Structure 1
Amino acid sequence: MDKREEYAIVIYYLPGGDPTKNIKEPVVYTVGRDYFTLLLLTLKPGVTVNLFEELYIGNKQRDKVRSILKRLSFDELPEIAKANLEKAIKDLIAKNEKKFVEFFNNAGPLNIRLHTLELLPDIGKVTVQKIIEERQKKPFESFKDIEGRVKGIKNIRDIIYERIIRELSGKEKIKLFTI
């Protein structure tokens, strides 16, 4: 399966360009909607964008984006973009709750000693066992359902957010939510 971003969320817009990167045309720092890919984009002439606006970046005709300059590492983001990244990712997690609930319903073992769910912050073997027991009774339907049925799990949005940030900042070898 070809994993490519079709849409990206604006986390920082510099209408005058980015002098730190020697770019004189308007640039936009974005995070991908599906795989949280960090990208630097240029805009078509005369186009402006708003913070947290969703932009089409796929292979078809783009209405606002001229080009994708490059994929960025977490460390390449300006501090303002990093600050806005948290809101953007948490909004994406909330909008895609079903996708993340499915992750909890379908995640399996990585090997004989380690379960995929153990890669999430603050989730150990005992909690994984509770999750498996509960999802065998009935698949989870929402974050609230998971939090209500599995003792020891609080605020799944924050757990997922923390994992995504760890992946983006290069602290994790195994990618669960990013590419």
Structure 2
Amino acid sequence: MTRSESGDADATAEYVIVLDVLRHGRQGDGQRRFDAEPIAYALGESDFRLLELTLVEDADVSIGDRLVVSPTADREAIQSVEEVSYDDLSNTATAEVEYVVEDIVEANEQRFTDFYNDAQPITLRLHQLNLLPGIGKKLRDKILEERKRHGPFDSFEDLQERVSGLHHPKDVIVERIIDELQDNDVKYKTFVRNDG
């Protein structure tokens, strides 16, 4: 199932975006090329998990496709799903990650604007906003003061206009998600689901 039509999809379905398709499996996995099962690397839309999908033979799947991976869904093109790390991805998949993350953040702007609206302290000394690249104590305090005085932010543009010094709020979120994907040792994973 690729590129689902809105309205027909199950609200609980878990969607991924395909980052790369290897029609003859991974190189160097010990299998002869014609025996290897086709695989795809994908990124979860809601939780940013990196997945390796084992595809059925002749699956009509391409880079950029949106697939359902929920266990209960009709996964006609997918045999199995396994979580992988950033280092497991193919070169093509790693090149696609940033573009796909940008697209997801842009398509879900309210979700990520709400992060700025709802961010709370983690400890007495650390706030969720401080986890974002380039946001130190001064900028964090400006964001908190602005949302307290004038209410929640409506969009990335609203954030940028109301908080001097916060020039690219979308890019800051994208950079944090990429950092969380690339580094398994990040202490606080805010956007990427961490099952490990």
| TM-score tier (shorter) | over 0.9
Find the residue that maps to 2:101 and give its secondary structure: helix
Identity of aligned residues (%): 39
Aligned partner of 2:45 in structure 1 is: 33
Deviation, 1:135, is 1.0
How far apart are the structure 2 equivalents of 1:169 and 1:50?
A: 23
Q: Kindly provide the CA deviation profile for residues 55-111 of structure 1, in whole angstroms up to 9, marking residues without a partner as x.
A: 10002221321211x211111112211001111111001011111011110101111
How far apart are the structure 2 equivalents of 1:33 and 1:87?
A: 13
Aligned partner of 1:110 in structure 2 is: 122
Instruction: Output the amino acid matched with 2:113.
Output: V
| TM-score with structure 2 setting the length | 0.84
Find the residue that maps to 1:11 and give its secondary structure: strand
Deviation, 1:114, is 1.3
Find the residue that maps to 2:28 and give its secondary structure: helix
How far apart are the structure 2 equivalents of 1:76 and 1:47?
A: 22
In structure 1, runs of 5+ residues without a counterpart are none
Cα pair 1:5 1:37 within 8 Å, conserved:
no
State yes or no: 1:92 paired with 2:100. Answer: no
Aligned partner of 1:43 in structure 2 is: 55
Deviation, 1:22, is 4.2
Structure 1 stretch 121-130 or stretch 71-80: which is displaced more? 71-80
Aligned partner of 1:143 in structure 2 is: 156
Inter-CA distance 134–76: structure 2 relative to 1 (3 Å threshold): same
Deviation, 1:172, is 1.5
Instruction: Output the amino acid matched with 2:188.
Output: I
Deviation, 1:45, is 2.9
How far apart are the structure 1 equivalents of 2:37 and 2:166?
A: 46
| TM-score with structure 1 setting the length | 0.92
Deviation, 1:20, is 3.0
How far apart are the structure 1 equivalents of 2:30 and 2:17?
A: 23
Aligned partner of 2:139 in structure 1 is: 127
How far apart are the structure 1 equivalents of 2:53 and 2:13?
A: 13
Deviation, 1:5, is 7.9
Deviation, 1:21, is 3.3
Q: Kindly provide the CA deviation profile for residues 131-174 of structure 1, in whole angstroms up to 9, marking residues without a partner as x.
A: 11111122100001001100111112211111111111125110
State yes or no: 1:101 paired with 2:101. Answer: no
Aligned partner of 1:66 in structure 2 is: 79
* Alignment equivalent of 1:8, drawn from 16, 26, 39: 16
| Aligned Cα root-mean-square deviation (Å) | 1.6
Aligned residues: 175
